[in-house]
Amino acid sequence: MAVRRQAIPGFGLTLGYSMFYLCLIVLIPLAALFARPVNMGGAAFWAAIASPRTIAAFRISFGLALLAAFINAFFGLIVAWVLVRVPIPGKRLIDAIVDLPFALPTAVAGIALATLYSPSGWIGRILGTVGIQVAYTPVGILVAMVFIGLPFVVRTVQPVLDDVERDQEEAAATLGAGPFSIFARVTLPAIGPALLSGFALAFARGVGEYGSIIFIAGNLPGQSEVLPLLIIVKLQQFDYAGASAIAAVMLAISFLVLITLNSLERWQQRRRFGLGA
């Protein structure tokens, strides 16, 4: 009897190790997270997630994370474009600064942002002269989410933009297309999936961010309280079931949003390469 050989040697063993590691690190903790809300009962579960304080935290976390992701997508694309296409001095320094939110502990980032944007800070003092307060308001939460999410967009778009062939852009220019038309019709479709991936990563990081937000947000229930902080408060009150219920709904919403964005990304790729809708 002939033995069927696998195309990749050791595929079965590596697949088994991969699935074991995935279950141990990801699936089992997530299953444990959903186990407690299931045992709560429908009434207790609804009471935990439908209180005005919880709904306000959901609105603040997801709303500001979505807005921050849009801001990061726009400015992250500009930064990536400058790093790839614009010959400027000090490009390596700018490239290193982009990674700064990755290197900084989130608490340090939060303290630095709160110091800068507080009413007595360098930037906060200037903004205060025109009646704008950033620190200890939802605007401060938005600033923190933008700060920690920007590198995800830049690092996702930059290598793809660097690999984009310039021939099509030059051909469009010879046919009379302007810079904005070339970007919209040639360059953007090529980097669109990467830009969407960076958007999704920035959104996910913003929703789950805690360390850099608590120092610059006012942390007032119903006004500037984010979901991770509310979960910590529930745990400190020994309301483990309520914290698990909020975390489970937060995880489910984030998962649905990421699935939607990933499906849209695959659709863009298939459309670009002519594989059908």
State residue 71's pLDDT score: 96
Angle (CA) 87-92-93 rounded to 5° is: 115
- List the structure tokens of 256: 């649905």
* Distance of alpha carbon 97 from alpha carbon 150, whole angstroms: 11
Nearest to 98 by CA among 81, 120, 115, 117: 81
* Distance of alpha carbon 37 from alpha carbon 240, whole angstroms: 9
State residue 229's pLDDT score: 92
- Using a 10 angstrom Cβ sphere, with 0-12 exposed, 13-18 middle and 19 or more buried, the burial of residue 143 is buried
State residue 143's pLDDT score: 94
Per domain, the residue ranges of the chain are: 49-272
State residue 227's pLDDT score: 93
State residue 10's pLDDT score: 57
- Integer-rounded Cα Rg, in Å, for the chain is 23
Q: For each successive 10 residues of the chain (277 residues), what is the average pLDDT? A: 54 72 74 70 82 93 95 94 86 87 88 91 90 91 94 92 80 78 82 89 91 89 91 89 88 85 76 58
Query: What homologous superfamily is domain 49-272 in, according to CATH?
Result: MetI-like (1.10.3720.10)
